[in-house]
Amino acid sequence: MRPVIIAANWKMNTTPGDAGALARTIAERTREPGVVRVICPPYVCLAAVRDALEQEDVAVGAQNVHHELAGAYTGEVSASMLAGLATWVILGHSERRRDAGESDALIGRKLGRALASGLRPILCVGEQLAEREAGRAARVVADQLAGCLAGHDPAALMAAGLVIAYEPVWAIGTGRNASGADAAAMTDDIRATLRAGGWGSLADGVPVLYGGSATAANIGEFLAQPGIDGALVGGASLKADEMAGIVARAAVTAAARAAAAG
């Protein structure tokens, strides 16, 4: 049975002065059984969020990590610096692909660093609007997966708890979400890509999240799909009311899965 995961990506929002209070409020309002909760604040807020969540069953994640452990990389943050601050990491977010020019090969190196450092990776993939309109979405996502996962051992990635987030770029921060059916079709394609890429039946165990303008109002559309295991939430994750609604709906799916599994 795959877990149900709700991960918050706060992007470049909050400060060390207010992040802890927001994290605590969200944690208190989302104490639902069966849902894995993760909050990914900016680097400088990691310590405040970690401290605020000390008594809560909520994991802390970083939004990125450098592919090297140390060296002349001004402004970067390595996995060793994250030790004690974060246990998860978002990799390959489309905003980093866009703004920092991250390639699939580089993201693959970051994935290796996350594995070696014991950080649980959320690997983001997703197509641009023009690619979807040209009927190329599945091909683009398959190519991203192939590029990011090349050279990595599926069993090691499974052991590290790899999570894949399908985030259509045109849906991120736009208020225009994908349909549940389209997102579910892509999660099927993602697992088929993994299966064909040497993962075999391990592919069925990889959690795949949806991301892209997910809210309390639309999350049910995604969580009703058996192949979707939760959400990576951006804008709505800064609002405790939204997170409460999203995690409450996720708990319904988690309970249904637990009941079906006996």
232 makes contact with ligand PEP (CB under 6 A): yes
Catalytic member of 95, 102, 131, 167: 167
Q: Does residue 67 carry a catalytic annotation?
A: no
Contacts for 243 with CB less than 8 Å, ≥ 6 apart = 6, 8, 26, 29, 30, 216, 233, 236, 237
Q: What is the DSSP letter of 4?
A: E
| Binding span for ligand PEP by CB under 6 A among 28-36, 78-86, 112-120, 167-175 | 167-175
Nearer to ligand PEP, 58 or 233 (CB): 233
Contact window for ligand PEP (CB under 6 A) among 29-37, 184-192, 234-242, 250-258:
234-242
Q: How far apart are CA 147 and CA 257, in angstroms?
A: 32
How far apart are the C-alpha atoms of 213 and 215, rounded to whole Å?
Answer: 6
Residues contacting residue 102 through CB under 8 Å, at least 6 positions apart: 92, 96
Q: Tell me which residue has its CB nearest to ligand PEP.
A: 234
- In the chain, which residue ranges form alpha helices assigned H by DSSP? 19-29, 46-52, 79-82, 94-99, 104-117, 129-133, 137-149, 154-159, 180-194, 219-223, 240-261
- Cα–Cα distance for residue pair 38/61, rounded to 1 Å: 7
- Interaction mask 182-221, ligand PEP, x per CB under 6 A: -----------------------------xxxx-------
Residue nearer to ligand PEP on the CB measure, 211 or 245: 211
Span interacting with ligand PEP, options 21-29, 38-46, 103-111, 230-238, rule CB under 6 A: 230-238
In the complex with ligand PEP, the residue whose CB is nearer, 49 or 232, is 232
Place of tokens 């090297």: 68
Q: Within a 13 Å sphere around the CA of 67, how many CA atoms are in the beta-carbon half? A: 14
- Please report how close the Cβ of residue 175 comes to ligand PEP at its closest, in angstroms: 8
Q: Are 160 and 121 in contact (CB under 8 A)?
A: yes
Q: Distance (Å, rounded) from C-alpha 230 to C-alpha 223? A: 6
Which of the stretches 24-32, 74-82, 150-158, 165-173 binds ligand PEP when contact is defined by CB under 6 A? 165-173
Of 32, 66, 93, 127, catalytic: 93
Q: Is 14 in the site for ligand PEP (CB under 6 A)?
A: no
Binding ligand PEP (rule: CB under 6 A), the pick from 112, 173, 197, 226 is 173
Active centre residues (catalytic):
93, 167
Binding site for ligand PEP (CB under 6 A): 9, 11, 167, 172-173, 211-214, 232-236
